[in-house]
Structures are given as C-alpha cells and as structure tokens.
Amino acid sequence: MRKACDSPIRPKGLGVVNLRDDRFGLLLILSSLAVIAVISGLHVWSQIDARLAQNRAQGLSLARLLAENDVDQLLPPPGRQGPLDVIKATESNPDFAYAVIAGIDGSTLGQVTAPDVIAPSADLPAAPADWIGERSLAASVNGRQVREFIAPIISQGERVAHVRIGFLDPGLPNYIEQASLLGMMALPVFLLTPLAYFLIRRGVRPLADACAQLNELVSGQRIDTVHIEATGEVGEFIRGFNRFMEFAKSRIVELEHERTAIVASSKVVSYQKSRVEAVIGSLPDATLILDETGAVVFANRQVETMLGVPVDMVVGHKPAEWCAHPMLLEIIEEARERAGQLSRDAEIELPLDGSTTRTILVAARPLLPNDRTAGLIGTLLVLHDITAESAGRRSQGEFVAQMAHELKSPLHVMAMYGESLLGEEGAQEAFRVETSNVIRDEVERLASLINTLLSIARIESGAVAIKRERVRLQDFLEDAVEAASRSAREVQVTCLVDVPRDASPIFVEKELFRVALNNLLTNAFKYNQEGGDVSVLVEESDDRTLIQVRDTGIGIRPEHLPRIFEKFYRSEDEETQKRPGHGLGLPLAKEIIELHGGSIRAESVFGEGSVFTIVLRRRAGGEGSTR
C-alpha cells in the first residue's frame, strides 16, 4: 500500500483540540461583548438623538412664543412674575439652560437660568434672515455645548429686542443612571453565549473524534474509514468522507497496479533501448539518429573518431551546430526533407588534417513508424569509411594499366623482330641469332613477370602453405649474394657479407625466402653505381634477427620512399627509368617477409644509397622466426 502522504505528519493530541476549543469559547465571549456594546451604543445614541429632537422642538416653540409678547410684558415691574419666571418654574427639561431677553445692542434686559448656569453673552445676528433660528455657541457651560434658539420681538414693524433660549446638548454622563437598564438588556445576550458554546461543542465533537482517528491513521501511514456516530449535517459529512476514503483506497490500488505495469514496461523499454544502443554503439561505422526536429538523440563513439567531434557536443544538438562539412549537412537536410522516401547514398571526402583526407560513404535513411500513418519520426545516418576501398579501386585501375603496359612492351619488341625476320634482314644469320636472343630475353621477362604476379596472387589469396626449415644464415646469404652478382656481372660492384659466427639459424621456407632476398639484392646491384658497394649485415637481439641489405647506389627521394612497396610503382627519376624493371620486386619481397611473420623497412638518402632491413622474430629458445 502506498503511503497516505508524501511526508510524515505529526499526529495532534487532544490537548491541541482543547486549546482550539478554548480559543473558540473566548472568541464567542468577545463576540457577545461586542454585540452588547453595539446594542448599548445604539440605545444611547437613540436616546441622545431623541433628546436633541425634543430640545430643538421646545427651544423653537419657546422662542417664538415669547417673541409674540411685548417687551413690557416680558419684563414686568419688580415684585411681579413675568413669562420668564413662569418658564423657569414650569420647565422640567434637565437640558434647559437659560432664557434671555436681549436688546438690539446685545445687552441683557432680563433673564432666567437653570441652577449653576450663567448665560453666555453672544452677538445678535444682523441679517433679517438670521433673526429666527438655531445656532451652536462657541462657549460651553459646565463642559457641555450650548445650543441656542433665537427669535426677534417686533413692535410696530421694527425689531426692538431678541429672545434667546439655551439648551445644553445631552451627554453620556446624563445616562449613567440607565446602567441598570443596559445591564438588563445585555444579560440575555451574555447568557446566550455559553448556551451557543455548548451547542456548538456538542455539534463539532464528532469532528474532533474524527480528527483524532485521522491522526492515528496518518501516524500509522494507513488509509481507512473513520467510525463516528453523528447525526445531521455532520453525520452526512462523515458518511460522505468515508465514501471518499473508500474510493481513494480503490483508486490507489488501481494506481499501484498501473504503476507496477508502467515500471515493468519502462524496464523492458529501457532494456530494449540499452540493447539497441549497445548494438548500434558496437557497429564499426559512425552512426547517428536524429529526431523529427533534426537534433541528434544518439551517436556512437565512432562518430568522434571519424568526424573529430566529441559525442557530448553531438548528442542533443542539431548538425548545423557541430558539423563543419557543407556536403554532409546537405545530405542530412535532404534526408529529412524527403520524409518517407529512400535517400541517395553519397561519397564525400572529409579532411583529417592539412594533408590527408578520408573518403566517407554517407547513407541517410528516414525513420518511419511501423504503420506508416504518422510522419517522419527521425533520421538514421550511417557514415562508412571507404578510404581503403576507394584506394583499392584506384590501385586496381593503376594495376591493370601498369600490367597492360608491362605486357605490351615485350610483346611489341617480339612483334617488331618477328616482322623483321620476314624481311631482307631475316636472311642474315647474325640477325636471326640476335632476333632469337632478343625474343628469348623478352619471353624470360614475360615469364618472370607472370611468375611474380602469380606468386603475389597466391600469397594474397592465402594459397601458399609455408613449410619452414632450419636455414643457416652464413651459407644462405653467401649463396644469395653470389647468384645475384652473377646476374649483374656488367655492374662493377663490391660485395660483402657480414654474419656473426654465433648467429642463430632462421626457420623459413628456403626457396620462397630466397626469392624475397634475391629481389632486394638484385635491386641493390641494379640501382648501384659503378664501383659501388653492396653489403649484407646480420644483427641479433633477444627476440629479433635483423638482415640488412645496404648499397651505395642512386638512392630514393624522400617523397617516393613511402610508395616503393606499391605494385608497379617506380620512381620517375631519370636514373631509375634508365634501369629495367616492372615495380613488382619489392612488393613481392614484402609479401613474402610478412608471410613469415616479419617486417621490412627502407631508409635512403638520395644520391648516396639505400638500406633495406628485414626484421624476423625469434623463437623463445633463441631459434629463428616463426608465426
């Protein structure tokens, strides 16, 4: 079963729940106090507003009533009560402050005041529009603002005096006596608080029990239903929650099965991918796979060897970012544009360094899905190094041309002398003898050429079976030098054979190895200078036997030295061309020596001579070379 949550959750105890409940109770108390404060404030405000309205009505009424009397009526002689005294005696409004009869100049003609109240002086309004109305004075009486109501006294159409009636604005201190009333109003509200708290606690207790069970499930990292008895909306919520948990459990099981299947499929795909990549990576050719956007998604290590670009710089990048060869880029783009069609193969030459190039066969193929309903999903690019094959084709063409030339020359000479025999010169005995000798020499030349070619062909095809025998170097080399010197008697050359007395014998096929050595000695005599030297030297080490053929001849130019073991190759130097040859002696010697498990190398200084060194491996017991 998968874990219920990604990270462990610390279970919460009942103390946390009680703390939350206490906070909730405190919140209820504060809320009830706030309600009481609002209700009390509204009540006080309504009382103040009602007092203000009452003061305004009484003040305006009194001011107008008094203004309808004459000044003499309002100010009776001493000892008699006037309207002002009546007002003072009958006024029951606690907010009443004073009643003043003021002259036009603002002087007080008569007044009555509430206890401890002094009527403030104030200027009368000058504008007729302001003679009657209500105004607030800047002065205050006993710390309370005074609201004054005025009206003019008119006699015979002229203003003779003013009536000023003052009321104090009602304030909170006047309502302290109403505290009991406010308490009676607040008590029911306050008593409702614990009842509401009890009912709420009772309603949410199942949720607290459910929370405790959920904490246990989380701490045990399990997914299960909660077992709570509840009614009403809470009970409906618990039942809905349990249904959701059952659905979640079944869904998790399904997801686990799906995940298992996906993991298994992923492993299979990963294994198949690794096998495919291993197969492609082991291919000898450089192989790249491009996605539909043209970016490289796979490249084997041969890409780095062939193109000289690290694989890390190739994978994840488009060819234009790492390939500097325009023709290769063109082939890749053509393969992507020809989606669903076979692309042509092309041979291109990639430069390795400043002097050499490799011939590469580029095969680009579009990758399509099996059903071929979708478009191009990638491109397969294979780069095959055909430098050797290309060179082989060129060598084969050169070989055929050289062979035709070598065969044509003696045949042309024999045909020419044959035609001469049919003429008048053919009747001469001396000419016939000369013709016979020339034809015999050319036949021997052809036979030697053909035998050499057959020997090379047999060696390259593997048809030659070597039968080794023990050969004593001193005798073998002296016989080879004597045979070569007899065939080149016209060249005045001094011969020297230097073999250590304790030289170990070699194990070779004597006649076949004699052909290789004879070709080296023949060249040493043929390309030597008159009065020159030919030396055959032998040196030994623990595991090698070296046979050197030295001459003091015309030598080989440095630029020609790497090609002297190619078939039919001959230097174009004038001195070389003067001497007969077909360019097969050194290739045949190399083939024979390598057939015996050895190697041959050449060193030369043009105009001074050459040195050909045969290297043969020796047996562990100190005997000659073997494969």
Q: Where are the domains of the chain?
A: 38-178, 283-384, 392-457, 466-617
What is the Cβ-side half-sphere exposure of residue 194, based on CA atoms within 13 angstroms? 3
Q: Which of 129-143, 354-368, 379-393 has the highest mean pLDDT?
A: 129-143
Q: In CATH terms, is domain 466-617 a member of 3.40.50.300?
A: no
Which pLDDT band holds residue 613 (cuts at 50, 70, 90)?
very high
What is the Cβ-side half-sphere exposure of residue 426, based on CA atoms within 13 angstroms? 8
**How far is it, in rounded angstroms, from Cα 567 to Cα 317?**
46
**How far is it, in rounded angstroms, from Cα 185 to Cα 42?**
12
- Give CATH for domain 392-457: 1.10.287
Burial of 107 (0-12, 13-18, 19+ CB in 10 A): exposed
At the top level of CATH, the class of 283-384 is: alpha beta
In tens, the pLDDT along 169-210 reads 876 645 555 666 667 767 777 677 777 777 777 777 777 777
Query: Between helices 473-486 and 510-526, what is the axis angle to 10°?
Result: 50
**How far is it, in rounded angstroms, from Cα 491 to Cα 532?**
9
609, 600 Cβ separation under 8 angstroms: no
| Least trusted range by pLDDT, from 53-67, 332-346, 528-542 | 332-346
515 C-beta neighbours (distance < 10 Å), count: 17
**pLDDT confidence of residue 462:** 64
Provide the terminal-to-terminal Cα distance of the chain, rounded to the nearest Å. 68
**Predicted confidence (pLDDT) at residue 619 exceeds the cutoff of 70:** no
- Give CATH for domain 38-178: 3.30.450
Max CA pair span of the chain: 206
Q: 294: helix, coil or strand?
A: coil
Residue 199 vs residues 14, 15, 194: alpha-carbon distances, Å = 19, 20, 8
In tens, the pLDDT along 149-163 reads 888 888 887 888 888
| Mean pLDDT over each residue of the chain, to the nearest integer | 77
Residue 178 phi/psi, 5-degree rounding, is: -90, 10
**How far is it, in rounded angstroms, from Cα 270 to Cα 289?**
17
182, 189 Cβ separation under 8 angstroms: no
Query: Fold identical between 38-178 and 283-384?
Result: yes
**pLDDT confidence of residue 37:** 79
Task: Give the strand pairing for 494-498 and 533-540.
Answer: parallel
Span 495-516, average pLDDT: 86
Tell me the two tokens of residue 294.
Answer: 């043209």
**pLDDT confidence of residue 577:** 66
293, 336 Cβ separation under 8 angstroms: no
